[in-house]
Amino acid sequence: MFLRYCLLFFAAIALPMAATSDAQTSEGQSMVSTVAQDGHEAEAHAGDHAATESEEAVFNPNEMIMHHIADSHGWHIVDWNDKEIGIPLPVILWTNEGLVVFSSSLFHHDSEGKHVAEAGGQRFVNLHEKIYYASDAPNEHGVYAQADPVTHEVANAKPLDFSITKNVASLFVSVVIILVLFIRAARSYAKNSGAAPRGLAGFVEPLVVFVRDDIAKNNIGPHYKKFVPLLLTIFFFIWVNNLMGLVPFFPGGANVTGNIAVTMVLAFVAFVVTNVNGNRHYWKHILWMPGLPVAVKPLLAVVEIIGIFTKPFSLMIRLFANITAGHIIVLSLVSLVFIFETVWVSPVSVLLTLFISVLELLVAALQAYIFTLLTALYLGAAMQEEHH
Amino acid sequence: MTGSIAALGAGLAVIGVGIGIGLIGGRAMEAIARQPEATGKIQTNMIIAAALIEGAGLFGIVVALLGI
């Protein structure tokens, strides 16, 4: 218990620190234009310091927050003496000339399209964490990409991107955590079977029993056993990833369950399992609802068919929006310090951040529970036997 | 301009969700007070209903965000 509070407190302190370092990097790239605008301030300070002073003057919280909740090609950890320290991740591209693999360090931490990475005889550029084929020459802002004159979107062609991004790397970390947790728990059961569970098994058992009895058995019905592994996987996957997203320093910090692609895959699994296991009764109620006038039946069939898709869609949106909203709130509270530009706001900011972080701990478990519960409910509805 | 109108829309969506979840919470409290032994079941159903309403609200918010 005490350890948990220590961790929380540490998290509350570390968050503003992480935000400071990142605010500097994201602003550093727009440094050139800022210096030109804030001529007055630049005059007041000598040399290199002028740049850092004026870049803090136009702190843009929107940009910082979006940068934090988005995926990226490198895993940025901390800024130390104006140097970015991070883990370069592999960039895997399927280009016109086949597979190209290189390290994201070739971009030199750049995501503004100003550094060209050459690999496999081709040139690539990282513009807002999307990888494009680089143009031959930079435009007037030094960016190696051309904008479409009509739509103002990037006109450069894109290779297919299969990179191990920050989110994917974080996914690997959480998978390792889950595997270690459960393999060790399973071993401990094999070793002292019959005895009371000890150690990790003792921690995991109540949760597993909760998912099995309260979620699966109560909502799916007599054939629940087949689906317990699926529900357990969904529950622990979402929960661990939610918690990892709340850790502000290195192994955590990625926004995995707040990424709509991740939640889409989870919802797709729920969709497939529900509809594959749907029995005759379920399909009859969707396509030709019994006990209604014939004229209403096709109308209701349309509504029900739309309903098949809106259920997993709402699963996807719910998890994504809840987790992303939590991250945005925490980051907004942290940026209060930089918006008011005084250290006296920081007690308010840290306390509010602490409060929201504790709330997010609850939300992390609650969203995992709701996703699992609704999956079980949909499954139960699809497998219900006839009872008229 | 579109941004602020979208934000208004998100706010309106949240008003509806707030009323809905408030009603559920209040009624669940009443039900628990009347029948404390059914607390577990009431809580589960309360969370399910709240999640479904929240889904509708989040649709509104996401659509509003897309408009920004």
User: For the segment A302-320, what is each residue's pLDDT rounded down to a tens digit?
Assistant: 999 999 999 999 899 899 9
pLDDT, average across residues B48-60: 83
Name the residue in chain B with its Cα closest to that of A315: B55
State the average pLDDT for chain B: 86
Structural domain boundaries enclosing B48: 2-67
Pair B63, B7: CB distance under 8 Å: no
Each residue's pLDDT tens digit, A184-234? 998 888 887 777 887 788 889 999 999 999 899 988 988 899 999 999 999
Name the residue in chain A with its Cα closest to that of B46: A370
pLDDT, average across residues A331-358: 89
- How far apart are the C-alpha atoms of B14 and A368, rounded to whole Å? 22
Handedness of CA A323, A324, A326, A330 (dihedral sign): positive
pLDDT, average across residues A277-288: 89
- A11-15, A167-171, A345-349: which range is least confident on average? A11-15
Does this complex have an ipTM over 0.85? Answer: no
* Whether the predicted pLDDT of B17 surpasses 80: yes
Q: Which residue has the tokens 């009872």?
A: A387
Name the pLDDT band for A7 (thresholds 50, 70, 90).
Answer: very low
State the average pLDDT for chain A: 80
* Whether the predicted pLDDT of A11 surpasses 70: no
Q: Any chain B CB within 8 A of the CB of A71? A: no
The more confident residue out of A256 and A20 is: A256
Q: Any chain A CB within 8 A of the CB of B7? A: no
Output Rg (C-alpha) for chain B, integer angstroms: 16
* Whether the predicted pLDDT of A96 surpasses 80: yes
Tell me the longest C-alpha to C-alpha distance in chain A: 85
Cβ of A318 within 8 Å of Cβ of B51? The answer is yes
> Which pLDDT value is given to residue A143?
82
Q: Any chain A CB within 8 A of the CB of B38? A: no
Q: In the structure encoding, which two tokens stand for residue A223, read together?
A: 């054939």
Cβ of A318 within 8 Å of Cβ of B44? The answer is no
Name the residue in chain B with its Cα closest to that of A378: B48
- How far apart are the C-alpha atoms of A266 and A67, rounded to whole Å? 24
Q: In the structure encoding, which two tokens stand for residue A249, read together?
A: 């320093």
Cβ of A314 within 8 Å of Cβ of B62? The answer is no
- A10-19, A115-124, A348-357, A373-382: which range is least confident on average? A10-19
Tell me the longest C-alpha to C-alpha distance in chain B: 53
* Whether the predicted pLDDT of A273 surpasses 90: yes
Residues of A in contact with B48 (CB under 8 A): 370, 373-374, 377
pLDDT, average across residues B31-49: 90
Q: Any chain A CB within 8 A of the CB of B54? A: yes
Name the pLDDT band for B2 (thresholds 50, 70, 90).
Answer: low
* Structural domain count, chain B: 1
Q: Of A214, A316, A318, which to mutate for an interface test with B (greatest number of B Cβ within 10 Å)?
A: A318
Name the pLDDT band for B1 (thresholds 50, 70, 90).
Answer: low
Name the residue in chain B with its Cα closest to that of A312: B55
CATH of the domain at B51: 1.20.20.10
Residue A321 has its nearest CB partner, among B40, B52, B58, at B58
Highest-pLDDT range among A23-32, A237-246, A252-261 = A237-246
Name the pLDDT band for A75 (thresholds 50, 70, 90).
Answer: confident
* Whether the predicted pLDDT of A31 surpasses 60: no
Q: Of B44, B65, B68, which to mutate for an interface test with A (greatest number of A Cβ within 10 Å)?
A: B44
> Which pLDDT value is given to residue A119?
82
Residues of A in contact with B56 (CB under 8 A): 314
Highest-pLDDT range among A49-53, A96-100, A283-287, B54-58 = A283-287
Show me where the domains of chain A are located. Answer: 90-163, 167-382
Alpha helices by DSSP H, listed for chain A, are: 2-28, 31-37, 39-44, 49-57, 61-69, 166-191, 200-210, 218-220, 228-246, 260-276, 280-287, 297-340, 346-382
The more confident residue out of A31 and A373 is: A373
Pair B59, A317: CB distance under 8 Å: yes
- How far apart are the C-alpha atoms of A134 and A156, rounded to whole Å? 7
Cβ of B55 within 8 Å of Cβ of A377? The answer is no
Q: Phi and psi for A249 in degrees, rounded to 5?
A: -105, -170
- Give the count of Cβ contacts less than 8 A between chain A and B: 32
Question: H/E element holding A113?
Answer: strand A112-119
Name the pLDDT band for A151 (thresholds 50, 70, 90).
Answer: confident
